[in-house]
Structures are given as C-alpha cells and as structure tokens.
C-alpha cells in the first residue's frame, strides 16, 4: 500500500474509529489516542494490508481491542453505555426507585463484565451502538448465524444471572 493510498484510507476511516472509541471509552481525548494508535499499527503493517479481506473491519477490531485494554488497565467502567441499555421511565423515579435502578445497574455491569470478551463486544455493538447483525458479523469476521447464537447466549446468561441475583 502506497503512502497516498494509506492517507486516503485514514481520511475516510479516522472519524469513524474516533467515534467508536469515544463511545466505548466515554472520552474524546482518549478516543483520539486510541484511534491514533490503531492507525499507527495499520501503518506499521501496511505491506500486509492487501492480504486483509476488509481493512475497515480489521481497523475496528484493533480499536475495540485497544479500548478494552485501556478500560481493563485503568479500571474505568463505561457507565454511560450501560445506562443506555436500561430502559428509562417517563416519570421521575422516587428515591427508592433510583436506588433500585442503581443496584440493578451494578448487577448488570458485574454480569456483563463476567461474560467472555466476544459476548461483551457483540452485546455492546448490538444494544449500545445499535449495529445490525450483518454489520457485527462483518466487524467480527463471523457468520451472521454465529453472531446471533453468541448474542442469544449472552442475553440468556445475563437474564439467568440477573434473576439469580434478584432472588438472593
């Protein structure tokens, strides 16, 4: 890949990568750093890029992995993304309802953190980012059927664990 081809690809992909990282990290500044690191990694492997089926999907995976690494290393929780998953009531909740929602949110976060990385990623892409199964399949380099199976298993596991926590 020539320098001009790479520059053109970066111009097209960088905004999308920054946006994705920003959603995962909750910080525009950190998102810029992650996108820059991902593009640097692509530049260092530019000779291998022609062998990659979908460069956009590969870049997305690099950004996702860098974000997950950063979240793990800093111990930061992406609470805003989880908040978007839970339904919001039309009325202002009472203090008791707020406490219950906060407790439920904590349970859901712990359950999601216990899922395998692929399950976490697919759940976030589908329920937080609103991506279609076909888009997730392309990003994860999986079949749509495989994405559906993983999504179903992850949902079922979250449901089972949440019910167990509510009973105890």
Which CA distances in Å does 130 have to 42, 96, 97, 148? 26, 30, 27, 14
pLDDT for 76: 46
Q: Are 28 and 57 in contact (CB under 8 A)?
A: no
The domain boundary, picked from 76, 93, 119, lies at: 76
User: Which CATH number goes with the domain that contains 46?
Assistant: 1.10.1740
Q: Which domain holds residue 95?
A: 78-168
In contact, 68 and 76? CB cutoff 8 Å: no
Provide the pLDDT for residue 98: 53
For residue 104, what are the CA distances in angstroms to 16, 30, 76, 123, 130?
Answer: 32, 28, 19, 18, 22
Which pLDDT does position 152 carry in this prediction?
92
Say what the pLDDT of residue 125 is: 82
| Predicted local distance difference test score (pLDDT) of residue 77 | 47
Which residues of the chain fall short of a pLDDT of 50?
Answer: 76-89
- Among the candidates 49, 76, 103, a domain finishes at 76
pLDDT for 78? 45
Query: Do 67 and 96 lie in a common domain?
Result: no
Are residue 49 and residue 113 in the same domain, yes or no? no
Write down the pLDDT at residue 43: 86
């Amino acid at each position: 890949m020539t320098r001009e081809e790479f520059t053109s690809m970066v111009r097209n992909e960088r905004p999308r990568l920054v946006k994705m990282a920003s959603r995962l990290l909750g910080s525009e500044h950190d998102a810029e750093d992650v996108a820059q690191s991902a593009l640097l990694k692509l530049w260092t492997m530019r000779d291998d890029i022609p062998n990659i089926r979908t460069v956009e999907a590969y870049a997305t995976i690099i950004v996702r992995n860098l974000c997950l690494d950063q979240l793990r290393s800093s111990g930061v929780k992406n609470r805003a993304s989880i908040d978007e998953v839970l339904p919001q009531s039309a009325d202002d909740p009472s203090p008791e309802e707020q406490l219950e929602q906060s407790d439920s949110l904590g349970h859901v976060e712990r359950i999601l953190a216990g899922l395998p990385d692929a399950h976490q990623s697919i759940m976030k892409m589908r329920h937080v980012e609103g991506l279609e199964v076909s888009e997730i399949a392309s990003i994860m380099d999986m079949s749509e059927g495989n994405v559906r199976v993983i999504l179903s298993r992850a949902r079922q596991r979250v449901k089972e664990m949440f019910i167990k926590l509510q009973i105890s």
